[in-house]
Amino acid sequence: MATTATAVPRRWRLPYRLQVDRRLEAPRWLSPLVSLGAILVALLLGAVILEIVGGDAVAAYAHIGRAAFGNLGVFSDTLVKATPLILVGLACAVAFQMKLWNIGAEGQFFMGALGASVVVLAPIVPIEAPRWVTIPAMLVAGMAFGALWGAIPGLLKATLRVNEVITTLMLNYVAISLVNFFVFAVWSEGGFQMSPTFQRAAWLPRLADYASQVPLFRGLTTHLGLAFALVAAGVVWYILYRSLWGFEIRLVGDNPRAAHYAGVNIVRNTVLVMMLSGALAGLAGMSEISGVVHRLQTSISPGYGFTGIIIAWLAKLNPLVVAPVSVLFGGLILAGREIQPAGVPRLIQGIILFTLIASEVLLRYRVRLVRVDAEPA
Amino acid sequence: MCWAWAGGLPLAQAWMGKLMVEHPNAAIPAVDANLAVNQNAVEMRGIVKRFPGVLANDHVDFDLRPGEIHALLGENGAGKSTLMSVLAGLYKPEAGSILLHGQPVAFNSPRDAIAHGLGMIHQHFTLVQSQSVTENVLLGLATPRFWLRLPEHDRRVADLGQRFGLSVAPQAKIWQLSVGEQQRVEILKMLYRGVQILVMDEPTAVLAPHEIEGLFATLRSMVAEGKSIVFISHKLNEVMAIADRVTVLRQGRVTAAGVRANETTIPELARLMVGRTVLFDLQKRPQAPGEVVLTVDQVCAENNKGRPALRNFSVTVRAGEIVGVAGVAGNGQAELAEVITGLRRCTSGRLLVHGLEVTNSPPRALIEQGVAHVPEDRTHVGSAPNLTITDNVIMKQYRHAPLAQGWSLNYTTAQAAAETLKTEYQILAPSVKTPARFLSGGNLQRVILARELSVRPQLLIAVQPTRGLDVGAIEGVQRLLLAQREAGAAVLLISEELEEIFALSDRIVVIYEGEVAGEVTEHDPEAIGLMMTGGKRAYAAPAGEGG
């Protein structure tokens, strides 16, 4: 039966309209493509803002590129910045996979630094102990302190259903104050807000240390912590996507009631995942003081723990994507300081986060432009 | 008030009778289209609605006469809800036209449709839990503007409720109400807005049997006042009980347009719905039950609100036997299933599986004992929505070889196993990597059944295994349950569908207020009905309000 067009008079409209359809399945290549597109859009928006405030966007971006990735020396510095970011990014990603909102990576980072310092300054290992004893001891202590700081909210959440957002956030301040106490009251060097410098055996080896053998490494500050971070990324990826435990983590994260029904022990997993998350953040703290500052001091983190939250989301909680995202952010932090101490780089970070989250809609829906007059018969 | 609608009923019937005389032929030929325009409350012509990958409505015609209850029948995914959402202004059709009382309309939103006197009540209610009934009814209206003057509106809402037999306290908060009462609030919302044409999407799916009777009475009283109702359903007996005419949809097309309900039969409608003859008689072979597998001995348990839900409940299930638990919803069935599967603690009593004490064992221990569980809530308990079909079918077996290898999970094996189950259980999905949330109710149930039955369970606890499924899928699920029985599994079937219990069970235990009200082997609906209601009358009026 033929139908005539609707009799209702139409007001004038644009000849095109947006048609939004739900996607049943997104192709594999789409997700990275959309993320890349989002970053480009963010840089474009940043450029517009830079131009509006009277800056030279091209010059600014060129400078950021040069200052972060321009030569081996600055790229090495970028990697140094990226190292703690990878580890805290992993810490957040692993917890977020189970929908445990650990925003206490900052505190766990400080506890990791404290744990590593105790080994050196208490001292647990003697000053004359060789590097292969001191470093592993610091590593274990740092991870253990971080894990402990993660276990507290984990236990509270698992047994008493205390909201982990509140506890992890509050424990950040406790951890920072605890470190301050040790820095000022116990290990202060001449009243300054820093401990004495660690002995050389407690320093993570840097590439520059091997400049005598490999001249190319001269002046490169990249330290062994980067290797820890990359290994950790691999391990966390294996845990999440290939191990039995990871299956449980993802199952609980997606539907705790189904997980309980399938016989998964949610209490145990909550505590264990918070401990793993804390241990990774603790490792970041250890790597930072052992590889970069070589002493315990009050300002060891410019908010790594919070940047880690952003990184984990940008990486879509995929441990292998955390590393490249961290390098990007490491570069932004490093180069940003060169252009402006606070404004532009933060702004760009913020816009990137914004566009990436907004681009999520493209993964769930297909947006097309269709002609209005070509109505299907 | 009461006599008003009682008197209205014969009037409306006489009027409808007149209508029938004028148009004895239900299928209106094209020539008469202009004439029909003047009569029909709704006319939809050539409606086409596409979703990605599916043609939900393929040139569908539909008409609704004033003062009739018109059932829209079809399997899940046949396009019933889509068609009515198009009518109610929720979707825009790609083609086709809609006439309301002969006038062409194009609604931009449900609000627009309500302004034209056409409202739709969806399966999922849109009520504010923390507000009162009256507040929910007033929500979104232009008046009252500032001062709510709630008592005055409370009275109006109460009056309206009384007129249509919708007893619900106007001052009650939504969270205090049962699902049936919440539905009444949704209907009140529509009536308050002066809706003349009401579309109800599967209204009985959430109701207990006695509530369904109440709903039907309300619908009849609305029709008696000249309102027209579209009743979407896939339950054939309900359609026969309430509808004047029936339109059947199958795969987006009309297979029967406006057939008079009294001129058709249930098997005929089923055939039109499914596209083939449905066997309502399942062949159940007589079979001697084996040893006792499950013993529930004097078990007590509490519900989520800490009130006693099971009181000294006892039942045994033998191998190769299906024991049906019949009862009105909310009499402890959900708690019983949870206690047996370790999801809920029992406060006293004992639970034995194969003679082994498993009282208050964790769920995992019971899974290892060979206890399978088809839960009532497929989406919130039975599956993980964002994980793939593969992940969902290995959800209980991942700890064992060959899926588990040391600490690792072998995803290659898992995928192969999922592929096999997908074919074996006819799970319709693009691939085993499809997230579970994209599956229809029937397909999701197949995923759950594939997981639970493929491990050859010793004991199967099946709760409402066919709820919300369409006729074809129900038959498939019931056959699977019978196959388990023949394979020697002990099956505890908890269902509110008496027909299902009768068709499948060897013995029937009736549960009432958490107690065993009785056990029968004969299929005597009346005796069971009496036990289900504690020996009292089946249709007790909701507490408090008097008609």
Domain edges within chain B: 2-26+65-94+105-274, 290-370+457-466+476-537, 377-456
Q: Is residue A6 part of a domain?
A: no
89-148 in chain A: CB under 8 A from chain B: none
Q: Among residues A87, A331, A76, which one has the least CA distance to residue A207?
A: A76
Q: What is each CA distance from A31 to A15, A22, A234, A362, A369, in whole angstroms?
A: 31, 16, 21, 9, 21
Residue B386 to residue A4, Cβ atoms within 8 A: no
Asked if A258 and B381 come within 8 Å (Cβ–Cβ), the reply is yes
Is A88 in contact with A277 (CB distance < 8 Å)?
Answer: no
Q: Tell me which residues of chain B, numbers 386 to 415, contact chain A at a CB-CB cutoff of 8 Å.
A: 386-387, 391, 394-396, 398-399, 404, 407-409, 411
**Contact between residue B41 and residue B66 where contact means Cβ atoms under 8 Å apart:** yes
Lowest mean pLDDT, pick from A46-55, B300-309, B375-384, B526-535: B526-535
Over residues A104-117, the pLDDT tens digits come to 999 999 999 999 99
Q: Is residue A9 part of a domain?
A: no
A3–B409 CB contact, under 8 Å: no
Per-residue pLDDT for A347 more than 70? yes
Beta carbons of A7 and B104 less than 8 Å apart: yes
Residue with the bigger pLDDT between B145 and B406: it is B406
Residues of the domain holding A336: 23-367
The H helix count followed by the E strand count for chain B is 18, 22
Report residue B523 CA to chain centroid gap. 24
Q: Which residue of A has its CA nearest to B368?
A: A263
Res. B24: pLDDT tops 60: no
Whether the CB-CB separation of A316 and A147 falls below 8 Å is answered with no
**The amino acid at A178:** L
Nearest beta carbon to residue A24 from set B363, B399, B438: B438
Q: Assess if residue A373 is contained within a domain.
A: no
Mutation target to probe the A interface, by most A beta carbons within 10 A, among B105, B368, B387 is: B387
pLDDT in tens, B126-147: 899 888 999 999 888 877 777 7
How far is A274 from A158, CA to CA, in rounded Å? Answer: 10
Q: Are B338 and B507 in contact (CB under 8 A)?
A: no
**How far apart, in Å, are the Cα atoms of A354 and each of A46, A167, A349, A350, B425?**
12, 27, 9, 6, 43
Q: pLDDT digits over A120-165, tens only? A: 998 888 989 999 999 999 999 999 999 999 999 999 999 999 999 9
Distance from CA of B157 to the nearest CA of A (A): 36
| Whole-number percent of chain A with pLDDT over 90 | 56
Q: B526-543 pLDDT, tens per residue?
A: 777 777 766 543 333 333
pLDDT in the model for residue A373: 57
Check A366 against B52: CB less than 8 A apart: yes
User: B30: which chain A residues are within 8 Å (Cβ-Cβ)?
Assistant: 1
Q: How far is CA B12 from CA B18, B213, B225, B346, in A?
A: 10, 21, 7, 55
Contacts of A265 in chain B (CB under 8 A): 362, 364
Instruction: Report the CATH number that the domain containing residue A262 is assigned in CATH.
Output: 1.10.3470
Average pLDDT of the segment spanning A255-262:
95
Question: Is residue B455 less than 8 Å (CB to CB) from chain A?
Answer: no
Distance of CA A219 to the CA centre of its chain: 27
Taking residues B235-260, what's their average pLDDT? 89
Please state the CATH superfamily assignment of the domain spanning residues B2-26+65-94+105-274 in this structure. Answer: P-loop containing nucleotide triphosphate hydrolases (3.40.50.300)
Contact A259 B382 (CB under 8 A): no
Judge if ipTM > 0.90.
Answer: no
pTM check: above 0.90 = no
Give me the amino acid identity at A76: S
With a CB cutoff of 8 Å and minimum separation 6, the contacts of B400 are: none
Q: Cβ of A259 and B30 within 8 Å? A: no
Contact (CB<8Å) B341/A259: no
Same fold, B2-26+65-94+105-274 and B290-370+457-466+476-537: yes
Residue A273 has which token pair?
């995942």
Question: pLDDT category, B267, cuts 50, 70, 90?
Answer: confident
CATH code, residues B290-370+457-466+476-537: 3.40.50.300
**CA pair distance A350, A42, nearest whole angstrom:** 9
Tokens, residue A129: 């102990």
pLDDT at B541: 36
- pLDDT over 70 percentage in chain A: 93
- Structure tokens that stand for B5 in this block: 């609608």
pLDDT in tens, A69-78: 888 989 999 9
* Residues of chain B numbered 308-347 and touching chain A (CB < 8 Å): 341, 343
Q: Does A262 contact B at CB distance below 8 Å? A: yes
pLDDT of residue B278: 57
B53, pLDDT greater than 70: no
Would you state the pLDDT for residue B345? 93
**Residues in A touching B387 (Cβ below 8 Å):** 250-251, 254
The answer as to whether A80 is a domain residue is: yes
Report the SS3 class of residue B149.
Answer: coil
Q: How far apart are the first and last CA of chain A?
A: 12
Of A17-21, A324-328, B468-472, give the range with the top mean pLDDT. A324-328
Q: What is the rounded average pLDDT for all residues in chain A?
A: 88
Give the residue-averaged pLDDT of B471-496. Answer: 90
SS3 B171: coil
**pLDDT exceeds 50 at position B20:** no
Among chain B residues, CA nearest to A248: B395
Give chain A's domain count. Answer: 1
C-alpha A244/C-alpha A241 separation (Å) is: 9
Task: Give the integer Cα–Cα distance in Å for A253 and A102.
Answer: 13
Q: In sequence order, what E strands does B203-318 have?
A: 228-233, 245-250, 253-260, 292-302, 308-318
The DSSP H or E segment spanning B222 is helix B209-224
In chain B, % of residues over pLDDT 90: 44
A3/B97 touch (CB, cutoff 8 Å), yes or no:
yes
Which of B369, B381, B448, B452 is the mutation pick for testing A, counting most A CBs within 10 A? B381
pLDDT of the residue at A340: 65
Taking a C-beta distance cutoff of 8 angstroms, is the pair B212, B204 a contact?
yes
| Least Cα separation, residue B363 to chain A (angstroms) | 5
Distance CA(A121)–CA(B53), nearest Å, equals 66
Contact A261 B373 (CB under 8 A): yes
Question: Residues B95-137: pLDDT tens digits?
Answer: 999 999 988 998 888 888 999 999 999 888 889 988 899 999 9
> What is the per-residue pLDDT across A13-31, written as a single tens digit (0 to 9) for each?
677 777 777 776 667 788 7
User: Which residue of B lies nearest to A255 if distances are taken between CA atoms?
Assistant: B384
pLDDT the model gives residue A166: 96
| Contact assessment for residue A263 and residue A287, using Cβ atoms and an 8 Å cutoff | no
Q: B228 vs chain A: nearest CA distance in angstroms?
A: 24
